[in-house]
Chain A
Amino acid sequence: MSRLTKLISLAALLVAPSMATAAEVNVVSWGGAYTESQKLGYGDPYQEMSGVQVNWIDYSGGLSEIKAQVESGAITWDIIDVYARDTIIGCDEGLFVEFDFDNDFPAGVNGMKASDDFFAPMPSDCAVGNILYSWNYAYNTDNINFDGNYPDSMEDFFNPDKYPGVRSIYSSAMSNLEFALVADGVPASEVYDYMEDNGIDRALDKLTDLCTNPKGGCIFWSAGAQPPEQLVSGEAIMATGWNGRHFNAIVNEGSPMKMVWDGQILDYEYFVLVKGGPNQEEAMKALQYFTSSEGLAGSAKHIAYAPFRISSLDVIMADEPWFYSEQAGAVEIMPHMPTAPANTENYVLMNPEWYADNNTEINDAWEAWKANL
């Protein structure tokens, strides 16, 4: 054997094992502090445990990209973090794998079978629960002089005469319609009953009052990291947003912000498995770990979103202060959860069915409203 062939075979031997473990799973999520919490909470631990590389990809929601991948036959995504509405639409369109829930997902550490351990039934057969999060609003305590009289209700957000300044709101209808109706006096628990009955127009009128008031005005955010940025930069005096992002800005970045929980919208977030993804089998295994009791509890170590499993809360409570970051040290996380009793005195529970069914009308009305503002 010549020296060269020896070298080549040696190289081949060295390369072979690393190639065998080169399995990858591509997980798509919302970026920023949230993806970071998922990566630290269960992505990295799973990678270490299984040797499967977990890649995190950012997106800003919606099904268009995966739909385009499926249509062109070049699917690169395995797991997607989606709104409930999109699990329903995508499942109906056959984009995602349908689960056999109790067989596909492990029981909780408390011994409860998966379907009982998750807080709520899944909105579609393709969804597996991930977190409960909240849409609420926050303000900058430094930038604006409220004379010690800080906003504490949803009415205050919609009252530019009392608290003048620009508001930053989500760029889609979701959350804005609910907030507007609550501010207009609709009981939080009945918001969606009103929607059927001229509620969209009523909500849009309320938003028009806010956005066209010379003392108010609206700007729109589309990525979760934007609201805290806009509050800190002074571009907006109040901003709706996701509680975990506000929490991150307050705790980790020391931003002088405060959240208002009145009229918050509790919403669920889900994982789906792409049908025909590049690594469907590995992805399924990864997903099982991500959504296990420890997995979901893991992400709550890094962000103030409540895990979807009851047993994950047990894991957290047994070990408070659970949250940890370099900047803030250890923090008790339960009081900051969107589900904490103090935060749920007056809340709306998101109705994804309503959005999935009426998607077109809601969006047409919303986009026309926005363009004619």
Chain B
Amino acid sequence: MPEYKVEVKNLDLFYGDFQALKKINFTAEPNTVSAFIGPSGCGKSTLLRMFNRMNDLIDGVRFTGEIYIDGKDVFAKSVDVDGLRKSVGMVFQKPNPFPKTIFENVAYGLRVNGVNDKHFIEKQVIEAIKKAALWDEVKDKLKKSAMELSGGQQQRLCIARTLAVEPALILMDEPASALDPISTGKIEDLIFELKNQYTIIIVTHNLQQAGRISDYTAFFYLGELVEWNKTKIIFTNPSDIRTQNYITGRFG
């Protein structure tokens, strides 16, 4: 299993005339969880979408700067974007399972990447569902529609779907914000488990969540990466007054 280090260098990004990211420099070490925090519109989700080039799908996005994943330039002309997205998994705010069976949801990433071996697919699917801590709840209904699952189960299914293609970096965009506290707890436990094998970057609005699950925290404000450091330091002894104001709830 490759261990992906993620590096962002001097990234500027514009939506039309609006500068959404300003000179971002950031590094995520392998097998760590980094949390992106900051008020809405600060650019944290935009940065997240750069890692798997989801911003390619949005009109009018311009950027300069570099992102390296595992030492490879994400924006190099030679990069196969679909291949990149396979190695960089993404989990979204709202659970978005496909209207297919539970099994087919998890098998989807393998199938679109050309895997046909039935036994291999079955093995990967079962393994991924187990890793996503969903197996006990769905093992008897793999052929049932994913739409019958609860929101929290759907989100774990989406995580399983991502794990099945064996990414090394997983991006999560507020993965628990649409879930109840119990489901949120399960997702957080899961993230904690997963960091043994993956590099994880998570965007969250929930500061307690960032404090609970992340090793590093990056605080964004108005397109700037104000500071990033070990989570413990950010939450106990931030060096920038804006960070301190944000985590103590004075704005945002």
Decide whether A and B are members of one complex.
no
Interface residues of B (CB under 8 A from A): none
